[in-house]
Structure 1
């Protein structure tokens, strides 16, 4: 396992060591002890979620606030997505900055998004199956978010705007300036 730092404080890309032969491949998807040694971050996760989405679906930007805040370790099991994290921690040196990474079944990368970050992804292939490991349980009353096309953030979701499909909730999220985080 290799850990790559991103421009955002405490946000990491995890690249597995993959062993291949003529039968296929094997890799260790997650190891809590190695993760904590390499990042210094808590690697204990309590909830796994999976979503399947069609091309053009954009999910985000979401977060859990307060005591129900969640760190996430995300990956794409089928297809390809552009995954984005936004630092919403007001005391962070990278507050208000975003970073994106392409996650796919082919590259097998994982993206660690710490507590206090907004998170979202756009689906770049016909379908994508997306996996989330969360370090805290979901709580509906603690939902927060930022509008996907917020002009202050200016995120390039790598999709033509006319192809983007949003949930009703994601169409009306607060702007970054309104600070629903």
Structure 2
């Protein structure tokens, strides 16, 4: 895997190193030793996936709080999506900044998201699937979110009318923790 750090400290785009022949290719999508050599969390406890029927489905921006913060390793297994992370670590030099990258079935890219970031994605094709590993178990009552168009961050989703859940639409304006 080729690790490229993003503009947000500790977040990486991972490109696959494909070994192939006339049959296809082989590539690792995770290796604990490689993650540890980059000082990344390599302990994942849960794998999740999301199937999205329609282009312009937007899920996010989600995160967990109060000791349930998650590191994530995200991959698009079918279709294409714009993956977005937002640094909400209060003491981070990039606090309030976001990073976006296209993940697709074709490019095979992955995104490593450290703890303390909000995460969301916008599908760019119908029938898009995303699979991701998380370092903490889902903890009811500790989930939180930021509205996709919160004026505090001005994330450029490049879509005017995404398909959203009622929950994602209802998040209030973000307030920095004290």
Please state which band the TM-score falls in when normalised by the shorter chain.
Answer: over 0.9
Provide the C-alpha distance between the structure 1 equivalents of 2:20 and 2:79, rounded to a whole number of angstroms. Answer: 20
1:20-69 CA distance string (max 9 Å, x none)? 221111111111111111x2122110100011012111000000001111
Consecutive unaligned residues in structure 2, runs of 5 or more: none
Matches within 5 A, 1:15-54: 15-37=15-37, 39-53=38-52, 54=54
Asked whether 1:137 is paired with 2:155, we answer no
Asked whether 1:107 is paired with 2:107, we answer yes
Specify the alignment match of 1:65 in structure 2.
65
Deviation at 1:179, TM superposition (A): 3.8
1:144–1:180: 8 Å Cα contact kept in structure 2? no
Deviation at 1:180, TM superposition (A): 7.3
1:75–1:132: 8 Å Cα contact kept in structure 2? yes
Per the alignment, do residues 137 and 117 of structure 1 end up closer, same or farther by CA in structure 2, a change over 3 Å counting? same
Provide the C-alpha distance between the structure 2 equivalents of 1:167 and 1:100, rounded to a whole number of angstroms. Answer: 21
Specify the alignment match of 1:165 in structure 2.
163
Alignment root-mean-square deviation, CA: 1.3
TM value normalised by structure 2 = 0.95
1:145–1:180: 8 Å Cα contact kept in structure 2? no
1:62–1:146: 8 Å Cα contact kept in structure 2? yes
Provide the C-alpha distance between the structure 1 equivalents of 2:66 and 2:12, rounded to a whole number of angstroms. Answer: 22
Aligned residues: 177
1:89-137 CA distance string (max 9 Å, x none)? 1001110000000000111111011111000000001121101100010
Specify the alignment match of 2:5 in structure 1.
5
2:57–2:122: 8 Å Cα contact kept in structure 1? yes
What secondary structure is seen at the aligned counterpart in 1 of 2:61?
strand
Provide the C-alpha distance between the structure 2 equivalents of 1:116 and 1:174, rounded to a whole number of angstroms. Answer: 19
